[in-house]
Amino acid sequence: MTTRKTGGAQRATKGKAARSGSTATAARAAKRDAKKTAPKRTATPARRTGDAKPGKTTARGPLDLVRLHAACFSATRTPAVVRLPALNCLALEGRGAPESQEFQDAVGAIFGVAYTLKFSQKATGRDFKVPPLEALWWSDYDLSRLADPRELWRVPRHTWRWKALLLIPDFVTSEDVRAARQVLSDRRGGDPLPGRVHLDRIDEGACMQVLHVGPYAEEPRTIARMQASMKEQGLTPCGFHHEIYLGDPRRTASARLRTILRQPVR
C-alpha cells in the first residue's frame, strides 16, 4: 500500500485535542513556572502612550495578539472566506491522536516556551498576551481505503500528524526563542522537548473558516457545512486543516465550547 500526504485528511475531529483538561492545565502550569524564573523588568524612561513603538507594551497593557489579528480569531457559524496575513508563531510537530501523551507533552512545551518568552520580553518593556492554542492536522493515510473519501474523520487516529501553534509578536527573534528554549529545558532538568519548539511563519492567504460551537465529537457536521460551502463557491481546499481552540474544556460545558475550523482554499 502506498501512502500519500493530503491537505484534506486533517479534517477529522481534531478539536478533541483540547477535550481533556490537560491542555488547559498545561498552559496554566507553564505560565506559573515561567513567572517564577522571569527576569526583573529593567528600568526604562517614561514614555507617553502615543509615542510607543508598534508592538511594544503601552500604558494600555500588553500587546493583545487576538485583538491585533481579529480576523484570525473571529468567525461565525456561517462558513465564510477570509484573507489572512502571514504571521509568526511558535511551532512543534508530532504524530498521533490529540489525546496522546505526545500531543499533551507538546502542548506543555510550546506554552512553556511562550510564557518564558512573554516574561523575558516583559522585562524589557515588550509584554504580550499569549493567545489561544492552534493546530494544523493532516495524515499520510491512503484515502482510497475509505468507503467515502469525504469522511476524513474516519482516518485511523494513530496516522494523524499535527503541528501545534501559538502566534507570537513580530519583535520576537529566533535568538529569543533559542534562549527561552534553553531556560525552559534547564528548568525541567534538561528536558529535550522544548528544544523542538521553533519559530515558524504561516501564510495561509484565502481561507474558508467557520465557528463550531459544541462538543468536539460533533465537528464533522460543521466540517460538512464548510465543505458544502466551498463546493457552492467553486473553491478547492489546499493546505492543512487548521483549528483554533477558543474554549477551555475544564471551565466550559461541552455544548458551549468554541472552536474555529479553517481550511485554506484556492
DSSP string, 138-185: EE---GGGSSSTT-GGGS-GGGEEEEEEEE--TT--HHHHHHHHHHHH
Kindly state whether residue 11 falls inside one of the protein's structural domains.
Answer: no
CB 138 within 8 A of CB 10: yes
DSSP string, 151-163: -GGGS-GGGEEEE
Kindly state whether residue 57 falls inside one of the protein's structural domains.
Answer: no
| Mean of per-residue pLDDT scores for the chain | 85
pLDDT, tens only, 166-204: 999 999 999 999 999 999 999 999 999 999 999 999 999
Q: Which domain holds residue 30?
A: 19-35+63-264
- Residue 78 vs residues 10, 211, 213, 225: alpha-carbon distances, Å: 20, 7, 11, 9
Question: How much is the average pLDDT of 251-263?
Answer: 94
Kindly state whether residue 205 falls inside one of the protein's structural domains.
Answer: yes
Kindly state whether residue 58 falls inside one of the protein's structural domains.
Answer: no
Q: State yes or no: pLDDT of 69 exceeds 90.
A: yes
E strand or H helix at 18, and its extent?
Answer: none
User: Most confidently modeled of 23-27, 234-238, 250-254?
Assistant: 234-238
Kindly state whether residue 7 falls inside one of the protein's structural domains.
Answer: no
Question: How much is the average pLDDT of 64-76?
Answer: 98
Residue 179's pLDDT is 98
Task: Give the rounded percent of residues in the chain with a pLDDT score beyond 90.
Answer: 65
**Which range (48-52, 68-72, 228-232) has the least confidence?**
48-52
Predicted confidence band of residue 36 (pLDDT cuts 50, 70, 90): low
Predicted confidence band of residue 205 (pLDDT cuts 50, 70, 90): very high
Kindly state whether residue 1 falls inside one of the protein's structural domains.
Answer: no
Kindly state whether residue 197 falls inside one of the protein's structural domains.
Answer: yes
Kindly state whether residue 222 falls inside one of the protein's structural domains.
Answer: yes
Predicted confidence band of residue 22 (pLDDT cuts 50, 70, 90): low
Residue 48's pLDDT is 38
CB 120 within 8 A of CB 177: no
Residue 41's pLDDT is 55
Residue 44's pLDDT is 43
Count: domains in the chain: 1
pTM of the model: 0.83
Q: State yes or no: pLDDT of 222 exceeds 80.
A: yes
d(Cα 146, Cα 57) in Å, to the nearest integer? Answer: 51
Question: How much is the average pLDDT of 247-265?
Answer: 92
- CATH, residue 100: 3.20.80.10
